[in-house]
Amino acid sequence: MAADGKQLEALVSFVEKTLLPEGFDVKTNERVYNDDGVQIAEFDIEIRGKVGSTSIAWLIECRDRPGNGPAPGSWIEQLVGRRTRFGFKMVTAVSTTGFAVGAVEFAQSQGIELREVKALSAEEFKDWLAIRHLHHIERVTALMHASILVAPEESEDRKHALLDVISNAPANAAFLKSSKSRESIAPANAFSGAVSEAGTLFDDLLPNGPEKKVQLHVTYANDEDHFVVETSAGEIRVQAIVFDGELCIKESLVPLSITAEYRHAETGEPISQLAAFAPQAMHGMKFSMEMHRMAESGETHIILRRLRDDA
């Protein structure tokens, strides 16, 4: 699990949301403030909904501190206090390091449900997970140069204003703007979009082979949706862009990074199993592919999870 515990919370919240019937609301990291606007609590996972005519308020708190040993009884005492103070009908404690003997006994006496997430070996997954790695194939676009063309009748003053914006823009600055959505976009992203629109530019490339140089002259003739650039002389319409860039295909093997089981702590009964693959960069963002197998139904859910850039 991630050092900040967020991965544990993401695992538990996903599984519980998947298993809950429709109509339940699952929130993570919900902050609570008093009447003066001061934060007095933050709940890892808060679940609310109705069963028949009864409203359910369920708190799940997660603890992922591998260097501190089993979760102590003091943590369970805190959860009992939270249940009373904030009116939860049900509280569950989830730990990646198990629970101390005193914590188990106290939780049983107070009606606090205990669950744990334990790492498993890949061999223990062999009954349902045959793969040990993924083939990750990424189509890479690299913009080397872009020439922005405007209408010939634009005045010299407006052309100079445009040049000022382009020449002073930081690397990969999003100074192009859609006239329709008003969304800003960087030239590199506009190049990637133009390559995708062309459709066949990657067809003659081999994975991990040499790059291919391309030049695309893209005309933006749609009066309702085209690019503009905001300048000191007003908005200037982009008529066309000449892109010079390189394309390549990168292929790599992505290994399993986490194999774990989410289960009831007291009985060892499994709730779900998780297989997560190492993070990969796609389009400048980090993702991890996860496979969640629900123990009761045997269903496997595959998700692509966006990670923080420093994960």
Position 131 scores a pLDDT of 83
The more confidently predicted of residues 245 and 7 is 245
Position 127 in a domain = no
Q: Are residues 10 and 112 in the same domain?
A: yes
141 Cβ contact list (under 8 Å, min separation 6) = 188, 191, 192, 195, 245, 246, 247
pLDDT tens readout for residues 181-236: 999 999 999 999 999 999 999 999 999 999 999 999 999 999 999 999 999 999 99
Q: Are residues 106 and 172 in the same domain?
A: no
Q: Are residues 207 and 161 in the same domain?
A: yes
pLDDT for 85 beyond 70: yes
pLDDT, mean over the chain: 92
pLDDT tens readout for residues 257-277: 889 999 999 999 999 999 999
What integer is the mean pLDDT of 38-57? 93
pLDDT for 4 beyond 60: no
Q: Can you spell out the DSSP letters for 107-136?
A: HHHHT-EEEEEEE--GGGGTTT---SEEEE
Least confident of 9-18, 49-58, 283-292: 283-292
Position 107 in a domain = yes
Position 309 scores a pLDDT of 67
pLDDT band at 279 (very low <50, low <70, confident <90, very high): confident
Domain of 191? Answer: 137-251
pLDDT tens readout for residues 184-199: 999 999 999 999 999 9
Q: Are residues 172 and 219 in the same domain?
A: yes
pLDDT for 83 beyond 80: yes
- Domain-ending residue, one of 119, 146, 161: 119
The CATH number given to whatever domain includes residue 38 is 3.40.1350.10
3-state SS class at 182: coil
57 in Cβ contact with 89 (< 8 Å): yes
Q: Are residues 114 and 149 in the same domain?
A: no
pTM summary value: 0.73
pLDDT for 281 beyond 80: no
- Domain-ending residue, one of 86, 119, 152: 119
Q: Are residues 170 and 73 in the same domain?
A: no
- Domain-ending residue, one of 85, 119, 153: 119
Residue 170 tokens, joined: 């930081």
Give the total number of structural domains in the chain: 2
Position 269 in a domain = no
Position 86 in a domain = yes
Position 36 scores a pLDDT of 87
